[in-house]
Structure 1
Amino acid sequence: MDPEKQSDCAVYKTVIESETQPAEDSVVLSSDVDPRLEFPAYTRYAVVAGCFVIQGLVCGLLNSWGVQQQYLVANVYDNEPSKKKTLSYIGTLMFFNFYFWAMLAGWLAEVWSYRKLCFVGIVIMALGQLLASFCKEPWQLCITEGAIFGFGVGLLFGPSSTASARWFTKRRGLATGIAVTGAGAGGLVIAPLTEYLVHSVGVEWNLRISALYVMVLGTIACCFMRVPFQDKTRTLKNFDWHAFGNLRFAANGGMVFFVAAAFIVPYAFLPEFWVSKGISSQTASVLIAVSNGASLFGRVLAGFTADHLGVLNSVILILVITSFSCCVLWPFATDISMGVLMSIFYGFGTGGYWALSPLVAAKLFGVDRLASISGIVSTTSAIGSWIGSPVANAILNRPGHGNDFIAVSMYAGSLWLAALVLALLNRTLYAKKIFSKV
């Protein structure tokens, strides 16, 4: 047998001493079963494709909220400061739910079904968009877009970012990187599509159309979601709570906390920043699309780098790039050329981080319970997503601030730098040799 095949098969040679029947989207494999005989050769690549589409829908719509927010601020609630302030909480609510429900999603994916859970998430996500199309007030959007839609993406992101890693060992980084490039591809398409729709048919119909394509494309993608092994004997009673006492877990959780707070800030405020500098809203949406396009390349290259330089080393490099983009590039991104540069660096860095995040968890805690461990880390960091945009909005709207976004960019950059410090700590805890591949 080919060495790579032997490596890939090793992870599946697990004996389940239970008469519990597996779900239709998983197979219990014994130590003498080759999964390549159990599944068609294309199965694991179909899983990667399914993850790609779901990631595109989830992250594309999340990252495009800033385009919709800018339109509402400029054209609907331009003379109502209190309502504009409420709008700033919607993106925050989305990302809070994105993280808050991750532990539940990870546990359900492992003990119930990746496929069924993803389908439930798609339905809730589409429902949130549809209900939002009938809203007339920002507080109503907080419920539909922030809470309901956010709950749907919270159920989807963890399973769709970890399923592909279950099928690979030697090239796990590259496979995961390709799967999560869907997030960049989704943003590359959805951001300009959102800009076009809100100006041509209005916010309400933009939301209805997005609900339609989420339901159609998401349902198709769910058909491919499965894992090669699922332990149906696990329950909430034997949930692994010991991770909370692990120092590596604490450092990793802290890193995710600061990333959760930092990530949405540029996407939520860059469109407004560029418009304040004389760049049109249409061009601003294109710059967001450029960022999402760079994210696509960042995810693939970060996964490739992780396979060759090590996961923990790679995440440090990625956090250096994101910190640089906020602290150094953003203050000078006042014209199209610098805006493109800022978009590329930030998109590349954040895309790389999301590709590496599940791989970091797999490196530190193992792959068998990857979804649940990643979920614990995300849920414990949910509060970080809650403070991101509101604090940035408070900084921006303080008396005498005007359109000076330097403080906002430094705030976002400091959060990324804090994540970098904790990533360095985790790297040191794992291996003290500077040039070792970890």
Structure 2
Amino acid sequence: MPPNLRPLSDDVPPGNKEQHGSKKAPSPLVSVCTTPIPSPEEQSQNRVDEKSTLDGADPNCGVVYINPDLSLIHDPSLPHEAQPPLEQSLYRPSSGEPPSHDSVHRVPVSRVTTDADGNTYPEGGLEAWLVVLGSFMGLFASLGLINTIGSFQAYLQTNQLKNYSSGSIAWIFGIFAFLTFFGGVQIGPVFDAKGPRLLVLMAPLGNGYGLGTSLIFTPAISAVGHFFNARRGVATGVAATGGSMGGIAFPLILETLFPRLGWAWATRVVALVCLVSLIISCLLIKSRLPKKPASKENVLPDFRIFRDPGFALTTAGIFFIEWGLFIPVSYISTYALAHGASEKLSYQVLAFLNVGSVLGRAIAGFIADYVGRFNALIATVALCLVCNTCLWLPAGSSLPVIIVYCVLFGFASGSNISLTPVCISQLCKIENYGRYYATAYTIVSFGTLTGMPIAGDILSRCNGNYWGLITFTICCYAVGLVCVTSAKLVHVGWRRPWVVY
């Protein structure tokens, strides 16, 4: 008997002793047959659907019990003699009262799902959510730093590199973001073939560089897909909030430490926080589905996957989305400084953006599992376009409008980050997920490399006015919206644009 369960045989009213001897009748919360367990021939005609609820159980099935996974203890496939007796079959939790009848009725017997290729997914459980936590901690350190580049750029532009143009300084962070995503072209196939452990163990040693960050980025996203299918959107969204939480914590840490400790020790403190986060991530992230056999084909990238027009359009859409995304993340702090904000508030506006991003990544993933992942991505990209056009472009020196823009754009752009992985997973088999995801982001990395320097050069050519930079951001999101919408229509057909996908 499981240690957290105990027999229900003591909870039966005295009126039923003629049926059960000294035992009491079972609680109405549990479906129990009063007729004998049927013979094997009868069982074959009265099998219970594994997804039925307790109220829907066949009255001839034998015994149904409640465990934490709401499974059936009577297995019709076993011989009649092998079925456990009633006294050993009926349990309830050893502490507390059993759940109400209504709550039992609403919960399905099994959460396990199966995809078209026969792979099963637990869709939850302690092990699965610990992997999500490991992914959260890994993205806290990797994407959290990327979401903080605006704070680093604002400090350097007013201190060590004040004699350099914005475009020149932006190359520093463009290369950092580029290496983070570009390294995935090899890391994704290695993840598919070898699993995540080798890669994430290397990440703490190299996290000071973009390549080190790439070692954790792809495995952290891909490992979640090994445990979730139907709920992949919400699970990936929860994991992706780690990047937003890092984007909140690191700017506030730097805001406090830069004036007191200076550049060197402030960055060392951030490095220590990243190290602790990555150690936790190393201990928790794992893969579950069978690994591919070691071969040259399984560890090298394969660009033939771009022959799929849906995947090619999705990658193009993500390219333009990320091309535009890093411009506000990089320049919102300097924009606030240039429009009358204090240095303290210039760090805080980036934190406001990441607060919105936390909500966007979690909520959008949950909604995407119901309305369709591409549908949710299209809606959030459209919201980014509206925010840049209707809020940032006319904001000027209005600090309240800037703050509202940061929260709303953070919500929409954070949704983009959590939805692009699950959209890519919808286009491939799960065993190829790492390869597809890393290959797509290898192309996207060139957008992150060039987007910030291009925006900086536009800013210089506009004599420090931000309207040109903002217009470039708007154009990026407009093209990205067209691409992801076209990618969906390639798969569902041009005559069914509103279908859930």
**What do residues 309-355 of structure 1 show as CA deviations (whole Å, max 9, x unaligned)?**
00111110010011122222112333221111110121111110111
Q: Is the 8 A contact 2:113 2:230 kept in 1?
A: no
CA deviation string 1:338-376 (max 9, x = no partner):
111110121111110111111111112232211110101
- Please point out which of 421, 440, 451 is paired with 1:377: 440
CA contact (8 A) 1:103 1:372 kept: yes
1:156: how far off?
A: 1.6
Q: Matched residue of 1:94: which SS?
A: helix
Match of 1:274 among 322, 336, 340: 336
Counterpart position of 2:132: 48
CA distance in 2, matches of 1:359, 1:71: 35
Change over 3 Å in CA distance of 1:226–1:198 after alignment to 2: same
Aligned to 2:425: 362
Contact 1:358 1:370 in 2 (8 A): no
Q: 1:283 to 1:317 in 2, by over 3 A?
A: same
Query: C-alpha offsets along residues 234-288 of structure 1, whole Å, 9 cap, x if unaligned?
Result: 4332555431211112101111211232121111111111101110121121111
Residue 405 of structure 2 corresponds to 342
What is the identity, as a one-letter code, of the residue corresponding to 2:218?
Answer: G
Counterpart of 1:132 in structure 2 is: none
1:337, 1:205 → 2: CA distance? Answer: 33
State the alpha-carbon separation in 2 of the partners of residues 363 and 382 from structure 1.
21
Q: Which residue of 1 aligns with 2:490?
A: 429
Question: Is the CA contact (8 Å cut-off) linking 1:110 and 1:230 kept in structure 2?
Answer: no
Instruction: Check 1:40–1:161 CA distance in 2 against 1; reply closer, same or farther (3 A cut).
Output: closer
Within the alignment, does 1:124 sit opposite 2:206 as a pair?
yes
Tell me: CA distance 1:10–1:283, structure 2 relative to 1, closer, same or farther (3 Å): same
Matching of residue 168 in structure 1 with residue 250 in structure 2: no
Equivalences, count: 392
Corresponding letter in the other structure for 1:324: V
Counterpart CA distance in 1 for 2:285 and 2:431 is 17
Q: How does 1:255-294 map to 2 (within 5 A)?
A: 255-294=317-356
The answer for the alignment partner of 1:93 in structure 2 is 175
**1:43-122 map, 5 Å:** 43-78=127-162, 80-81=163-164, 85-122=167-204
Q: Please provide the CA RMSD for this pair.
A: 2.2
Q: Residue 40 and residue 172 in structure 1: after superposition, are their counterparts in 2 closer, same or farther (change >3 A)?
A: closer
Following TM superposition, by how much is the alpha carbon of 1:60 offset from its aligned partner in structure 2, in angstroms? 1.4
Mapping of 1:228-267 within 5 angstroms? 228-238=288-298, 240-267=302-329
Alignment partner of 2:490: what SS? Answer: helix
In the TM superposition, what are the counterparts of 1:139-154 in structure 2 within 5 Å? 149-154=209-214
Deviation, structure 1 residue 75? 2.3
Letter in 2 for 1:425: S
Aligned-pair CA distance for 1:158: 1.5
Partner of 2:114: 10
Unaligned 5+ residue runs, structure 2? 1-49, 53-107
Q: Residue deviations 1:194-237, cap 9 Å, x none?
A: 22111221111111112212112211121010121132404332
What TM-score comes out, normalization by structure 2 length?
A: 0.74
Task: Answer yes or no: is the 8 Å Cα contact 2:385–2:477 preserved in 1.
Answer: yes
Q: Does structure 2 retain, via aligned residues, the 8 Å contact 1:253–1:377? A: yes
1:13–1:383 distance in 2 versus 1, CA, 3 Å: closer
**Cα distance in 2 between the residues matched to 1:329 and 1:222:** 41
Q: Compare CA radii of gyration and give the structure with the larger one.
A: 2
Q: What's 2:239 paired with? A: 179
What's the TM-score, normalizing by structure 1?
A: 0.84
Distance 1:106 1:171 in 2: 22
Q: Aligned letter for 2:452?
A: S
Question: Quick one: which amino acid aligns to residue 119 of structure 1?
Answer: L
Structure ranking higher in helix proportion: 1
Q: 2:51, 2:132 → 1: CA distance?
A: 22
2:154/2:333 contact within 8 Å kept: yes
Deviations 1:127-174 (A, max 9, x none): x2xxxxxxxxxxxxxxxxxxxx11112222121122112201221111
Q: Does 1:198 align with 2:280?
A: no
- 1:81-130: per-residue Cα shift (whole Å, max 9, x none)? 36x543211111111112211121111211123122012123200xx2xx
Residue 402 of structure 1 corresponds to 463
Question: How much does 1:308 deviate?
Answer: 0.8
What code does the residue aligned with 2:205 have?
V
Higher relative contact order, chain-length normalized (CA < 8 Å, sep 6+): 1
Residues 406, 7 of structure 1: alpha-carbon distance in 2 compared, 3 angstrom cutoff = same
Q: Measured at CA, do residues 81 and 13 of structure 1 come closer, stay the same or move farther in structure 2, by a change above 3 Å?
A: closer
Counterparts in 2 of 1:415 and 1:9: CA distance versus 1, 3 Å: same
Which runs of structure 2 are paired with 1:407-418 in the superposition (5 Å)? 407-418=468-479
- Cα distance change on mapping 1:114 and 1:330 into 2, 3 Å: same
